[in-house]
Amino acid sequence: MAARVTKVTDWPAFILANTRLLSPPLVPEIRLHLAEESLEIWRKTEEELAKINVPPPFWAFAWAGGQALARFLLDDPGLVKGKRVLDLGTGCGITAIAAALAGASTVLAADIDAVALQAVVLNAAAAGVTLATTSANLLLAPPEPCDVLLIGDLFYERSLAVAALAYADAALAQGARVLAGDPMRSYFPKDRFERRTTYQVPVTRELEDSEIKSTAVWELRRPPAAAN
């Protein structure tokens, strides 16, 4: 007799059961519900997660780009204080939470993974901040009005990178400042960004190719044609 597969319906309970409240190495001020190597969610394959209706849990980790961008905002809160902030591809929400802690007037955390947004709500509550969330695919529409657009670790896949850059360019044209945290993933368009600072981010070999990931915060420049 085949084993019965149980579908997850109580996402907050699932998140709480499969994570621990931890502080990322570069941003000890923020505690997030994150997975540890000792927890079962680390050992499950994508196929196993799909059987219980769980997408890959990118939200369960504080990626290097998000940590770097969060650190940058907390160290220089004037970048977002009193401003409307949009965090694109928010994941665990670390960058959105940092923006809220830095005094942003509003923060919208966007991710097409609805489970990630459940984690963001829990993480925001743990940090004592208020923010809005959306699971809409913002890359398919004109940019949401914002003063600062944040992009953490979103250039790891070609099609996603192309769409994210197009969205960022449109936001920039509307007057937004665009900041990205990225360790130069495979499809990061370095020629379009100016490096603002670099951090050495402790990471885990389970996710990355080293224990320390050199990760920069970048600011988007206007395309050459728009600059003339």
Q: How do residues 41-63 score in pLDDT, each as one tens digit?
A: 656 656 666 676 666 788 999 99
pLDDT, averaged across the chain: 89
User: Which amino acid belongs to residue 111?
Assistant: D
DSSP single-letter state for residue 105: S
Beta strand extents in 3-88 (DSSP E only) = 20-22, 32-34, 84-88
Q: Give the separation between CA 16 and CA 37, rounded to whole angstroms.
A: 15
Whole-number pLDDT of residue 227: 47
pLDDT tens column, 75-107: 999 999 999 999 999 999 999 999 999 999 999
Task: State if pTM tops 0.85.
Answer: yes
Whole-number pLDDT of residue 134: 98
CB atoms within 10 A of CB 41: 17
In the chain, the percentage of residues whose pLDDT exceeds 90 is: 72
Whole-number pLDDT of residue 210: 77
Least reliable range by pLDDT among 8-22, 44-58, 111-125, 195-209: 44-58
Range 62-227 has CATH code 3.40.50.150 = yes
Q: Which uninterrupted H or E stretch holds 6?
A: none
What would the mean pLDDT of 16-27 be, rounded to a whole number? 93
Whole-number pLDDT of residue 53: 64
One-character DSSP codes across 52-68: TT----GGGS--HHHHH
Contact criterion met (CB below 8 Å) for 177 and 108 = no
The residues near 112 (Cβ < 8 Å, ≥ 6 apart) are: 135, 136, 137
pLDDT tens column, 175-214: 999 999 999 998 999 999 999 999 999 887 666 677 898 9
